[in-house]
Amino acid sequence: MHTYKNCTFAPGFSGSFWTRLDPTVNSYQSMKIVTILGARPQFIKASVVSYALSQHDGIQEVVVHTGQHFDRNMSQLFFEEMRIPEPAYQLGIHGLPHGALTGRMMERIEEILMREQPDWVLVYGDTDSKLAGALAAKKLHLRVAHVEAGLRSYNEAMPEEINRILTDRISDLLFCPSEAAANQLRNEGRLADGARIVMSGDVMKDAAARFAPLMKAPAAALPDRYILCTFHRAENVDNPQTLKQLLYALELTCNTLPVVCPLHPHTRKSMEAIGYPIEKSPIRFIEPVGYLEMLYLLNHSALVMTDSGGLQKEAYYMRKYCVTMRNETEWTELAGCGYNHVIGTEPMNILQTVLNLIDVPPVFPIALYGDGHAAEIIARTIAATIGPVA
């Protein structure tokens, strides 16, 4: 733990956040950040935030990869393509039920945090890896910064919703992608608890702008015009009846346009369990792709169908309408503006929504989720908590 002297507070900071505001102090303590990553969306977010952190003197970032996504196309390829700092720790924890997965991660992360003694633990999104990192940190009385805070689907049957609520409740710095997310946290009383809420904007917007010029075609052959689809949520693929409904909806959609679907490993496993003929399907399943290939698929698609939270926003950033095959979304602004249509899993509803949108001109006049400098805001806010040497 550090002690500080001759230091004042920045506006909006609580007494626990020290900032470099006193010009009479010339010597400063360096800062160590442990970043917890485990899944594809977190790698994308970290790519821009880690770069922004690297632009601040005195900050050392230690990356921990839990292994929640372990397939090369779901994990290592992202580190290579997006130049994310190589993980200092590879935990290799995956393929377990939620409770066992979170517990095993907490045990290993706790050991690392005790060894590294960071000033901050940085977590992203809504995964089990994020929750494990936040819980391990707080039990060691370490400060937690949560990127993508304040999102709510209001469906606590989703593991992701529980992860969001619990992490937001124990985080010290809450970086919100939208004003709606920031207002959610204010309404939950997080300011009264001493946390700091920062409307940073969405780091995925930063990533889309930064990497769009580098997009590249995947190895798989693509139709001239197609719909891009992904689905992997537990509530969709772990329920055989729901999975069959979605597959039927996609087969019906293939009669309108080809459906290209990068196949998540967990989804493949569930499809094999119900005996679905993947190789003979009219749906064009391809191997999972890296972020640069996903941007290409998005850019050249006519429409997006998904149950992914991240892809809903990526579709918006690439000016594509989205059909969300869930009953709710945490990205309420997209649905409110008509860019995203949350339709559930009933096949005919899905098909009709696709038919209604497939030829609608891509008019996206409203700018959501900040100005594309979210990573800089996050890095600058964290860097401002470096205190002078006692």
CA distance 18 to 239: 49
CA distance 16 to 168: 18
CA distance 45 to 13: 25
CA distance 160 to 179: 21
CA distance 116 to 118: 6
CA distance 48 to 194: 28
| 315 membership: H or E segment, kind and range | helix 309-317
The single-letter code of the amino acid at 281 is S
| 100 membership: H or E segment, kind and range | helix 98-116
Pick the closest to residue 282 from 352, 354, 227 (CA basis): 227
The single-letter code of the amino acid at 257 is L
CA distance 12 to 198: 10
The single-letter code of the amino acid at 264 is H
* CB-CB contact of 85 with 50 (8 Å): yes
Residues 6+ apart with CB under 8 A from 213: none
| 319 membership: H or E segment, kind and range | none
Overall residue count recorded for the chain in this entry: 390
94: annotated active-site residue: no
Catalytic residue among 65, 146, 232, 341: 232
- Max Cα–Cα distance, the chain, nearest Å: 72
For 305, how many CA atoms within 13 A lie in the half-sphere containing its CB?
33
Strand partners, 322: 304, 340
Q: Are strands 173-176 and 196-199 parallel, antiparallel or unpaired?
A: parallel
DSSP 211: H
CA distance 226 to 340: 18
Query: What region does 83 belong to: left with phi over 0, alpha with psi -120 to 50, or beta?
Result: left
Catalytic residue set? 232
